Structure 1
């Protein structure tokens, strides 16, 4: 199993990184280790044979090489970077992000082992009750479905080459982010009605979306709500540092 860590930078720099006094978010330290070091270490402990890091030339690339990772130059947007990585890494490919500070090997194993044998793409998501039990007060973005409120875990398994179609669709969604009606139109009337009436479960929603682009997509629910906690804000950073007992200066 190969793994890809998305560690690119935003144009103009990441505000959280600047507050923390580093050039890139992947270099923010938690528990005395940069975010990227924590993520790559978890992937190796999970048994990933090769770890690829998508990043620009500079200090993040230097750190990635020191960690023994291979480098994939970033493309336009996260989806473009994943497509570029697929050309190099092939499938199966596990994809995550450098700000997944709490990433644990068992979550990676849980996604790989929990993915149905006939799926092309598997996505890990966590239900709100599990997240709030694991980290009370954590603010996450939730999607409401018939079987609960769910948040993404930044863990994706591109299990077969057919999963490329899903990444290509992701690229089109990114291109239409300022034209939301185009994104909604792709869902189809039946799916939208089921969702609006509160009858659509997350697993069925993913499967239906996959069917629309010729991909067998599956949900793997996270057993630990912390799997949905990444470092997007100063509050996230403070919460995660407290959780791991980090004595470093907290960003506010």
Structure 2
């Protein structure tokens, strides 16, 4: 059994205020995430970090979920969640704006991450897989030798590496929608290989692991629900239409 942290803050730049509480088909968006975690059968405790005043009423009487009042940004909230849970083997971290996430997607990602090992496992989804299920979704893609991928909104991590992540994490979050800037963080030769489509997943894993002093791994997921977040009004419409038809 794993513990999970759900990052439920709303950034200053969000086009949708109070995103975790935004209703999709008359249900607050964050509840789709916490319900999927519970239904997966592999989660013990869930820690929700965000605006406690707004979020706590959703989880009254829920012994599985604890709500913590969040900090100023996503990383502050992650730190709060990790410190609350304490030093343990592994923890699952998700954002609260992926209402199309399913128990099957969570189970598949965790099983693959456990099989791979590593301190930090991050899901990537092939463009054609994402386009097949969500043809109207606007995603940021990166072209690697193995294919063109988009990232997910879930992480399987060793909480003991949190301090290693901090310096680089702020820059990664700042440039998460700009693949070329992310690659530049890895060095000039990596940038050139990326531009030529010759950069491979193992090389990225190796470089990131060396830079951070951790074992970082990519997990290829066949579940695009894991990364299609709700950031703007058109995403709300897409999520509602998908959930209606599911």
- TM-score normalized with structure 2 length: 0.85
Structure 1 100/67 Cα, relative in aligned 2: closer, same or farther at 3 Å? farther
Q: Tell me the secondary structure at the aligned position of residue 138 of structure 1.
A: coil
Structure 2 gaps, min length 5: none
Which of 101, 104, 110 is equivalent to 2:102? 104
Asked if 1 retains the 8 angstrom alpha-carbon contact of 2:55 and 2:67, the reply is no
Q: Match of 2:44?
A: 49
Report deviation, 1:194: 2.3
Q: Match of 2:11?
A: 10
Structure 1 168/110 Cα, relative in aligned 2: closer, same or farther at 3 Å? farther
Structure 1 62/207 Cα, relative in aligned 2: closer, same or farther at 3 Å? farther
Asked if 2 retains the 8 angstrom alpha-carbon contact of 1:83 and 1:164, the reply is no
Report deviation, 1:10: 2.5
Report deviation, 1:32: 3.2
Asked if 2 retains the 8 angstrom alpha-carbon contact of 1:4 and 1:51, the reply is yes
Which of 72, 83, 86 is equivalent to 2:82? 86
Structure 1 236/183 Cα, relative in aligned 2: closer, same or farther at 3 Å? closer
Structure 1 gaps, min length 5: 18-23, 247-252
Structure 1 200/66 Cα, relative in aligned 2: closer, same or farther at 3 Å? farther
Asked if 1 retains the 8 angstrom alpha-carbon contact of 2:100 and 2:228, the reply is yes
Structure 1 53/149 Cα, relative in aligned 2: closer, same or farther at 3 Å? same
CA distance in 2, matches of 1:221, 1:184: 19
Structure 1 184/105 Cα, relative in aligned 2: closer, same or farther at 3 Å? closer
Report deviation, 1:182: 9.3
Alignment map for 1:125-204 (pairs within 5 Å): 125-159=124-158, 161-162=160-161, 164-171=163-170, 173=172, 186-204=185-203
Q: Tell me the secondary structure at the aligned position of residue 67 of structure 2.
A: strand
CA distance in 1, matches of 2:224, 2:116: 24
Q: Match of 2:67?
A: 71
How far does the alpha carbon of each residue in 1:27-55 deviate from its partner, in whole angstroms, 9 at most, with x for none?
Answer: 12223321111111111112210000011
CA distance in 2, matches of 1:243, 1:127: 19
Comparing 27-36 with 67-76, which one deviates more in the overlay?
A: 67-76
CA distance in 2, matches of 1:172, 1:225: 25
Alignment map for 1:113-132 (pairs within 5 Å): 113-115=111-113, 116-132=115-131
How far does the alpha carbon of each residue in 1:142-172 deviate from its partner, in whole angstroms, 9 at most, with x for none?
Answer: 1222222211110101135235412442035
Q: Tell me the secondary structure at the aligned position of residue 43 of structure 2.
A: coil
Q: Match of 1:250?
A: none
Q: Match of 1:20?
A: none
Report deviation, 1:66: 4.9
Matched positions, count: 237
